[in-house]
Amino acid sequence: IATATDFSDYLVLLHVYNASVRLRGVNGERVVPLEKLILERRKPDLKPGEIITEVLFPEPPVGASSAFEKFDRRSILVAGLANSASYIQLEGKRIIDVRISLDTTGLNRIPGRLRELEDYLKGREFSAELIEKAVEEVIPRSVVKYSDWWASGEYRLEMTKVSVKRSLLKACKRLGVV
């Protein structure tokens, strides 16, 4: 977590749980929301001498579920081509809370929440068609994917869409609605 790398399955998953970290140093202790801990790629908000002593997150309520998806060509790599985590809370079939995070969400290439997609889904009736439509509409305009020697940005974008769809559907399946 403290390395603030874009290749962190833990950060992707902890974002959907609204996690915070407890930091301890010579000047005392503080609790920082995970979203505020990572300032930019490989630059956490750690003061000199501070260490992470605890990861905190609220217990998920009844009617909530989560899932994680990772795509890579080789299972031994830490860095995935597209990672996503989803948390969803339903009341019947109505989505009352949803959180989606990705391995890299913007130009700064750090894990973070996909708030535009979350806002699109909240309050609507769950269906596989809704997930498909939302992902296809929102992700291309709100996610910046980069090219490197592992994959093109276009390929990563397509795999990100697949990853998000799968993680949302898997979380809903665990709630018995798929």
Q: Are 166 and 117 within one domain?
A: yes
Whether residue 74 lies inside any domain: the answer is yes
Residue 77 confidence (pLDDT) = 56
Task: Look at residues 40, 56, 72 and tell me which one is the last residue of a structural domain.
Answer: 56
CATH number assigned to the domain comprising residue 162: 3.30.390.50
Residue 120 confidence (pLDDT) = 98
Q: Are 73 and 154 within one domain?
A: yes
Whether residue 51 lies inside any domain: the answer is yes
CB atoms within 10 A of CB 24: 14
Kindly report each contact of residues 73-76 with a partner whose C-beta sits within 8 Å and lies 24 or more positions away, as own/partner.
73/150
Rg for the chain, CA atoms, rounded: 17
Residue 104 confidence (pLDDT) = 75
Structural domain of 165? 64-174
Whether residue 77 lies inside any domain: the answer is yes
Cα atoms in the Cβ-side hemisphere of radius 13 Å centred on 99: 18
Residue 9 confidence (pLDDT) = 84
Q: What is the pTM of this model?
A: 0.90
Number of H helices and E strands in the chain, helices first, is: 5, 9
Whether residue 1 lies inside any domain: the answer is no
The stretches in the chain having pLDDT less than 50 are: none
Residue 33 confidence (pLDDT) = 96
Residue 118 confidence (pLDDT) = 98
Residue 149 confidence (pLDDT) = 80
Q: Are 46 and 69 within one domain?
A: no
Angle at 172 between CA 170 and CA 175, to 5 degrees: 115
Q: Are 72 and 142 within one domain?
A: yes
Q: Are 73 and 32 within one domain?
A: no
Q: Are 75 and 38 within one domain?
A: no
Domain count of the fold of the chain = 2
